[in-house]
Structure 1
Amino acid sequence: MRGTKMKKFTLKILTALVVLLCSASAFAFAAKATKAAVTTTVTEINQHGNTYLTIRPSLFSAKGFSISDIVTVTINGKKWDMPICKNYSDVDTGAMLLRLTDDSVCLAINMGDFAKETGATVDMEVTITMKQQYGYLTQFHQRLLKSTDVRSDYASDEVFANFREITAGKIAPRKLYRSSSLIEPTARSPYALKLAQNMGIKTIVDIANSQENALKMAANNAFFKALDASGNVYYCEMAISYTDEAFTSKLKEALIFMTEHEGPYLIQGKDGQNRVGIVCAIIEALNGATLQEINDDYMQSYVNYYGIKPDSTQYTEILKTITALFETLNNGAKVTDKNVQKVVEKYLLQTVGLTQVQVDALKVALQ
């Protein structure tokens, strides 16, 4: 028992230290340009393909880069986007990262060979530019949080499945829902599926999957397959970064799809947190939601999964994702309840590429 208490205490200390580190990095970065850029060279490639750069960590940080930023790395004319992290495990297996430690700046793939994948060689020039400040902050903090796959650890089926109705702003009841996946091979999906059936979901926007992958997972899921067969599922395979064309193009198609199909609508992702949260925040703002309503809905996923408290440091840090979203859409300027709807509508018209008729049709479909 004593060892267990010590482990829990140590975990709390480590978590607090990482949160403080990220908070300090965010504070320091606030005064720096969000378009940070640096050119360096490859100095070493180890037996695992990890690609070490000439630039020192102190200079790299001084150039305006921090842990949890998303950067674009250019090597020999080819570009890759990746987050800045401390550990390989801060990203999924097979994902790229820029590993920033006290001793080195390194390009790597978690459980992969970066040099082989990219063609990087010693002395080759590497350019690193800012893609999205704090763009990986939510995922970074999420990896410090713990959830379980045991239903009895959670207060209800809805909490366990991260399934809920959205009625923020002028969105009418029984129109829009969000959830973890109905089809992923997880302990949560049977609960999400049952709730979707009970709510009479007629149209699904799948943020995470291609149709091919989704139908493989849904082989024994009659409800989902029936919706797919009737053309009522849109598959996004959406990028993480909302400034990326791969995100905006899919968002455009998804929103148009909703206007052309009947509700109730369900927006689902693997966990129903990150990309689902961003898409829902945009839809909520368009429909007149206050910033508090948007914040509460976004953070409810982290309350559901991890039981974090609104007065905690982690809650405050993760919530920066939404602040950063709207300020980015507003060219860095502050967003308030008075202008958030106009900011999002302008984004949908000018960046995403919807027409005014399509924007108005989306409002009608949800209100």
Structure 2
Amino acid sequence: MNAITNERTPVAHRLAFAIICTLGLTSAMLFGCSPSQQSPTAPSEDATDQPLEQAPSAQYVNSAPGLLEGLVVSKDQDFGGINFSISIDDFNACGFAFGDSVDIVFSNGCELTGIPYYNGYYANIGDPLLVGYPGYSTIRAALSFGDSLWEASGLSEGDTATIRLNTADAFHTVQIAHDVAYTNDRTDYASDEVFANFRACAGGTLAPNVLYRSASPIDNECNRAPYASALLKQAGVQFVLDLSDNDDKVDEYAALDEEQGIDVTPFMELRSVGNVALLNLTANYSSDEFKQTLAQGLIEMTQHDGPYLVHCVEGKDRTGFVCLLLEALCGASYDELAADYMASYANYYGITEDSDPDRYDAIRNLNFDGMLRYLANVDDQANLQSIDYVEPARYYLHSSGMTDEQIDALIARIAG
């Protein structure tokens, strides 16, 4: 297989959208979006991995179908997106539909033109989108898997925005291909493992039953915490890499779980003896903050015996990237990496290559292949199945601050 060198070369920019911000009278910034960029990114569906915020009071003027003025903006504190003072249902009732393209003009002069409006994070890495994700109290603009759009746009609390329909159904095909939903009812799933998205990772030289992944065993937002917590105990997990939480979040979840009679004792016991690393990551796996924080968590992991569990909220996006990275480090092939990544979509949505090939391919091509293109620093034309991902994985960890010795210690912990 072809090896990728450690020296990262720029990938040609794909300028699908533009963010034009006029700050003052003369300053303008143009942000191009590229899968190899090291800055733009915010949530993904796991960026949905956050407590539901309170819906603000509606503030806007709907003077015509497909036109909203006077929307007050506020910063999404977890991921740096831009919240607008209107609920998803109210926004859709004003002449917008998932799959449309929209123009957004902010009162500070920043404009987003022709961006997609989806009910999930279906854009390429770093591309702007407007999203009405189920469970969000408002619509939100963000950079898909990117940095803070709020900061990039130079906004302040109290600024306002106008949203105008650009083209109806401009992104209808993408919306339909990715529009899937799961339930939080255990009886809708074949087993506790499927419901909790709990499984052992595999591929390359990765040792069997040493590295596990799952939905959150502490945050019961999706009703999966008690199942994931029980399964981690059953698997003998000794150390947890918690990608989504910090101490305050865990304390809040634990209090709520206790109040509701939800048993998450196995997770809390590991935390009480220092066997949980709380990383509180965003979904931006290309950012320096993500990389450096992950590196510290992985270094801490090497100081503990396994088995190990990696989780976020759904165990799908942040967890998907981190497990892909660790599997790649152990020499997993494209097919092995894809099998594990796409298993989450089988578990949550029943989407497999046989049951729903069109959706399977659409999700794999956008989400999974996008991660591999970033990791290997290649463009859309690259043959991803021919690449050896060991060196790209090592380079990622090197650039995150890990030494060769620390990377080798990590491999020794998880490889057979």
Do they superpose with TM above 0.5?
Answer: yes
TM-score, normalised relative to structure 1: 0.70
Match of 1:260 among 303, 314, 337: 303
Verify the 8 A CA contact 2:244 2:280 in the aligned structure 1: yes
Q: Tell me by how many angstroms 1:57 deviates.
A: 3.8
Separation in structure 2 between the aligned mates of residue 155 and residue 252 of structure 1, nearest angstrom: 35
TM-score, normalised relative to structure 2: 0.62
SS of match in other structure, 2:20: strand
Verify the 8 A CA contact 2:202 2:340 in the aligned structure 1: no
Partner of 1:84: 129
Q: In angstroms, what is the RMSD of aligned CA positions?
A: 3.6
Partner of 2:402: 354
Correspondence list, 1:224-263, <5 A: 224-263=267-306
Verify the 8 A CA contact 1:285 1:341 in the aligned structure 2: yes
Q: Any unmatched runs of 5+ in structure 2?
A: 1-10, 24-67, 74-83, 85-103, 162-173, 259-263
In structure 2, relative to structure 1, the CA distance for the partners of 1:152 and 1:348 (3 Å cut) is: same
More helix by share: 1
What are the superposed Cα offsets for residues 81-140 of structure 1, whole Å, 9 maximum, x if unpaired? x8413x5447834674059xxxxxxx999xxxx998546479xxxxxxxxxxxxxxx9x7
Separation in structure 2 between the aligned mates of residue 108 and residue 357 of structure 1, nearest angstrom: 37
- Count of residues in correspondence between the two structures: 294
Partner of 1:284: 327
Q: Tell me by how many angstroms 1:302 deviates.
A: 0.7
What are the superposed Cα offsets for residues 263-322 of structure 1, whole Å, 9 maximum, x if unpaired? 000011111111000000000000011111111101100100110131422211211222
In structure 2, relative to structure 1, the CA distance for the partners of 1:67 and 1:338 (3 Å cut) is: closer
What are the superposed Cα offsets for residues 8-34 of structure 1, whole Å, 9 maximum, x if unpaired? xxxxxxxxxxxxxxxxxxxxxx99635
Partner of 1:173: 208
Separation in structure 1 between the aligned mates of residue 200 and residue 69 of structure 2, nearest angstrom: 50
What letter corresponds to residue 163 of structure 1 in structure 2? F
Separation in structure 1 between the aligned mates of residue 239 and residue 337 of structure 2, nearest angstrom: 22
Q: Tell me by how many angstroms 1:174 deviates.
A: 2.1
SS of match in other structure, 1:195: helix
Separation in structure 2 between the aligned mates of residue 115 and residue 39 of structure 1, nearest angstrom: 11
What letter corresponds to residue 243 of structure 1 in structure 2? S
Separation in structure 2 between the aligned mates of residue 120 and residue 47 of structure 1, nearest angstrom: 8
Separation in structure 1 between the aligned mates of residue 248 and residue 361 of structure 2, nearest angstrom: 38
What letter corresponds to residue 136 of structure 2 in structure 1? D
Q: Does 1:157 align with 2:200?
A: no
Match of 2:141 among 97, 101, 112: 97
Correspondence list, 1:96-115, <5 A: 96-97=140-141
SS of match in other structure, 1:46: strand
Partner of 1:342: 391
Q: Tell me by how many angstroms 1:149 deviates.
A: 1.9
In structure 2, relative to structure 1, the CA distance for the partners of 1:337 and 1:166 (3 Å cut) is: farther
Partner of 1:328: 374
Partner of 1:52: 105
Identity %: 31
Partner of 2:246: 210
Verify the 8 A CA contact 1:256 1:362 in the aligned structure 2: yes
Match of 2:230 among 173, 187, 194: 194
Separation in structure 1 between the aligned mates of residue 216 and residue 176 of structure 2, nearest angstrom: 21
In structure 2, relative to structure 1, the CA distance for the partners of 1:208 and 1:146 (3 Å cut) is: same
What letter corresponds to residue 227 of structure 1 in structure 2? L
Partner of 2:364: 319
Partner of 1:223: 266
Greater RCO, CA 8 A, separation 6+: 2
Verify the 8 A CA contact 2:215 2:225 in the aligned structure 1: yes
What letter corresponds to residue 363 of structure 1 in structure 2? I
Verify the 8 A CA contact 2:72 2:160 in the aligned structure 1: no
Separation in structure 1 between the aligned mates of residue 303 and residue 176 of structure 2, nearest angstrom: 37
SS of match in other structure, 1:92: coil
Q: Tell me by how many angstroms 1:69 deviates.
A: 4.0
What are the superposed Cα offsets for residues 202-234 of structure 1, whole Å, 9 maximum, x if unpaired? 100111111221133224433222211211000
Q: Any unmatched runs of 5+ in structure 1?
A: 1-29, 72-81, 100-106, 123-137
In structure 2, relative to structure 1, the CA distance for the partners of 1:209 and 1:38 (3 Å cut) is: closer
